[in-house]
Amino acid sequence: MTPESVFALVFSLAIVAGVFIVFSGMRHRTKVLEMLHRERLAMIEKGIMPTSDLEANPQQMSRARRTARSNRLLSAGIVIVGLGLALITLIAFTSREPELAVGVGGAVALIGGSLIVTALMVHRGPEETLLAGSHSNGERRGPPTDRPV
């Protein structure tokens, strides 16, 4: 097997695996939304007026906005990294110059990587980013969770 065919096979398997992961994530999200909808309908049937969790807590609304922005940035970053990898593959096979391919496609992939890092920083929030290393006992705080402590 030539190195080019091995590279093409590995890259094709990576693409198929990525599509499978995205499909699984979308399916899981659909199930979660369906369960939330059924829970809300059950409350309405019992005569209980369901309130939005976001209306009850303004901090959660701010976190929800931040999370939505983070998700958009993360999605854009992943797409741009994929575009960069696709450019690497396309240029490498058509021009037979892998250095040129890595240079051009790598630059695009780095832009996508910076969007992914930005998404992770936005998701964490400015106040949590500033306070992450300032604990007196040396502990680092993890990402915020919705569970009560």
**pLDDT tens digits, one per residue of 65-75:** 777 777 888 88
Among the ranges given (82-86, 118-122, 141-145), the one the predictor scored with the smallest mean pLDDT: 141-145
Q: Where residue 139 falls among pLDDT bands split at 50, 70, 90?
A: very low
pLDDT at 52: 65
Long-range contacts of 79-87 (CB under 8 A, 24+ apart): 79/112, 80/108, 80/109, 80/111, 80/112, 80/115, 81/109, 81/112, 81/113, 81/116, 82/18, 82/112, 83/108, 83/109, 83/112, 84/108, 84/109, 84/110, 84/111, 84/112, 85/11, 85/109
Q: What is the mean pLDDT of residues 88-94?
A: 85
Q: What is the mean pLDDT of residues 5-22?
A: 86
Q: What is the mean pLDDT of residues 64-87?
A: 83
**What is the rounded average pLDDT for all residues in the chain?**
77
Q: Where residue 129 falls among pLDDT bands split at 50, 70, 90?
A: very low
Percent of the chain with pLDDT strictly greater than 90: 1
**pLDDT tens digits, one per residue of 32-59:** 889 888 888 888 888 887 776 555 566 6
